[in-house]
Amino acid sequence: MSAALVNVDDGDALEPTLQSILDQRSLRWIFVGGKGGVGKTTTSCSLAIQLARVRRSVLLISTDPAHNLSDAFSQKFGKEARLVDGFDNLSAMEIDPNGSIQDLLAGQGEGGDAADMGGMGGMMQDLAFAIPGIDEAMSFAEVLKQVKSLSYETIIFDTAPTGHTLRFLQFPSVLEKALAKVSQLSNQYGPLLNGFLGSNGTLPNGQNLSEMMEKLETLRATISEVNTQFKDERLTTFVCVCIPEFLSLYETERMIQELASYGIDTHSIVVNQLLFPRAGSDCEQCTARRRMQKKYLEQIEELYDEFNVVKMPLLVEEVRGKERLERFSEMLVRPFVPPS
Write out the residues near another protein by the rule CB under 8 A: 246, 249-250, 253, 257, 296, 298-300, 302-303
Nearer to another protein, 129 or 250 (CB): 250
Q: How far is the CB of 121 from another protein (least distance, A)?
A: 41
Check whether 40 is labelled as a binding-site residue: yes
Q: Which of 9, 12, 64, 126 is catalytic?
A: 64
Nearer to another protein, 214 or 305 (CB): 305
Check whether 32 is labelled as a binding-site residue: no
Who's near 321: CB < 8 A, 6+ residues apart?
73, 74
Q: Which residues of 33-42 are buried (b: 16+ CB within 10 A; e: fewer)?
A: bbbeebbbbb
Concerning whether 158 is annotated as a catalytic residue, the answer is no
Beta bridge partners of 32: 158, 239
Check whether 38 is labelled as a binding-site residue: yes
Which long-range contacts link 322-330 to residues 24+ away (Cβ below 8 Å)?
322/73, 322/84, 322/85, 322/86, 325/42, 325/45, 325/46, 325/49, 325/72, 325/73, 326/49, 328/42, 328/46, 329/45, 329/46, 329/47, 329/49, 329/50
Nearer to another protein, 133 or 244 (CB): 244
Q: How far is the CB of 264 from another protein (least distance, A)?
A: 17
Determine the Cα–Cα distance for residues 121 and 107; give it in Å rounded to an integer: 11
Check whether 68 is labelled as a binding-site residue: no
Check whether 233 is labelled as a binding-site residue: no
Q: How far is the CB of 301 from another protein (least distance, A)?
A: 8
Q: How far is the CB of 265 from another protein (least distance, A)?
A: 18
Nearer to another protein, 129 or 246 (CB): 246
Residues 276/278/283/284 CA torsion (nearest 10 deg): 60
- What residues act catalytically? 64
Residue ranges of the binding site: 35-42, 245, 272, 283, 286
Residue ranges of the binding site for Zn(2+): 283, 286
